Amino acid sequence: MDDKVVTAIGTPNKALVMYWGKRNNRLNLPMNSSLSITLDESLNTRTSIVFSKKIKRDAIYVNGEKHDLEARAQNEKMMLSKRVIDRMRSLSGTKAKALIVSRNSFPTSTGLASSSSGAATLVFAASQALGLKASARELSILARQISGSGSRSLMGGFVKWTKGSKPDGSDSYAEQVASEKYWPEVMDIIAVFTASKKKVSSSEGHDLTLKQSKLYFLRPEYAEDRLEAMSDAIRARDFEPLAEMIMRDSNNMHATMLDTYPPIMYLDDRSREAIYAIHELNQSEGKNIAAYTFDAGPNAHVITLRKYKSKVMGMLGELIGDGKILAAGQGSGPRLLGESESLIDYRSLKPTE
């Protein structure tokens, strides 16, 4: 177990019913359940990890930036990562320190859900390095404690994260609604208008909206109802009603943010142009062939079917300006990589770069 370097690759997910607001910040327990689609490796996080008595302090490198996990001053994600690593270390019975090296293939903190792929890949890789015999549900609970949405990236296809009701979070976990092979035609086309970091972090946004938005108190029940209806549409492979519900859910969530005071505005002018353009595209087709949805950022995710990809790409191409367009199908969750793809040198137990 000790000195075993493990490398894994994982992917983000895009929420179709989003969670916003937490009933417990420490455990990342949400106010409402959520539903997402796990994306393929067009967008990915690669993570290498090793536990060794040769390592003096827990450390993590994210996109080349080092974080001492044992330092007193840490950002929230690093503190949560440390807590989960400690928990997994306790479960395995080792006291060896950890070196973690992680790299994203896409911008972080821009509403592209890098935290979901980061948390899921870290937990998956650590469980393999420690030899833990944990189920996907158990791993999703651990990943949730680093990033709520990370719980959903442990599985492929369409995934539900149940909010749960127990104070300890033991009933708040992810489970698959339909595998990536069930309805593979569904894909996500992403208009990356900006790679700039958002002004209000997701964690801060969760708290502010819950405390200050009068509209928010309608949100959890609305989200639970939409989730069940969307799950039915997915099982029936019925895209038109699914598309409308995706757009309405995004509108509803961002309305609660705008109702916060001062208002939280993740969408910008190009986001709104994309919304209008997608409605115009659907009207011209006489049916819903595309659905916009936005996380905590201005970049537009457009859920569509593969047969409509060229039409959606053409429409976004007129809006993108100096941005770029990414296209991703459905993924299957984290998987192991070989030694040649490791981010840690096997001999020196140091980052390869």
* Residue 108: predicted pLDDT: 59
Rounded distance between C-alpha atoms, residue 159 and residue 149, angstroms = 10
**SS3 state at 194:** coil
- Cα–Cα distance measured from residue 125 to residue 276, given in angstroms and rounded to the nearest whole number: 42
Query: Quick one: DSSP state of residue 263?
Result: P
Rounded to 5°, the CA angle 326-293-117 comes to 60
Please report the pLDDT score of residue 110 as a whole number: 47
Q: How far is CA 32 from CA 217, 223, 303, in A?
A: 11, 7, 22
> Structure tokens of 82?
């440390």
Contacts of 223 (CB under 8 A, 6+ apart): 17, 18, 19, 32, 33, 34, 249, 252
Angle at 142 between CA 140 and CA 146, to 5 degrees: 105
Task: State what percent of residues in the chain have pLDDT above 70.
Answer: 97
pLDDT in tens, 243-276: 999 999 999 999 999 999 999 999 999 999 999 9
Confidence of residue 197 (pLDDT cuts 50, 70, 90): confident
Angle at 146 between CA 144 and CA 149, to 5 degrees: 45
**What pLDDT is recorded for position 105?**
87
Report whether 125 contacts 112 (CB < 8 A). Answer: no
Distance between CA atoms of residues 20 and 36, nearest Å:
14
- What's the confidence (pLDDT) of residue 112? 61
What's the pLDDT score for residue 255? 97
Question: In which band, very low, low, confident or very high, does the pLDDT at 212 lie, cut at 50, 70 and 90?
Answer: very high
Name which residue leads in pLDDT, 323 or 158.
Answer: 158
CB-based contact 34:62 (threshold 8 Å): no
Copy the structure tokens of residue 192. 């990356």
Q: Mean pLDDT across the stretch 183-205?
A: 90
Q: How far is residue 123's CA from residue 88's CA, in Å, rounded to a whole number?
A: 9
pTM, full prediction: 0.94
> What mean pLDDT value characterizes the chain?
94
Q: In the predicted model, what is the mean pLDDT of residues 302-307?
A: 98
**Distance from C-alpha of 147 to C-alpha of 116, rounded to nearest angstrom:** 6
- Indicate if the pLDDT at residue 283 is higher than 90: yes
For domain 6-341, which CATH number applies: 3.30.230.10, 3.30.70.260, 1.20.120.1200, 3.20.20.70?
A: 3.30.230.10
**Distance in angstroms between the alpha carbons of the first and the last residue of the chain:** 24
Instruction: Indicate whether 218 pLDDT > 90.
Output: yes
Residues linked to residue 52 through DSSP beta bridges, in sequence order: 97
pLDDT range class, residue 109, cuts 50, 70, 90: low
| 273 token code pair | 């142009």
CA distance 287 to 298: 25
Q: Structure tokens of 91?
A: 């479960």
Report, as an integer, the average pLDDT of 334-339: 97
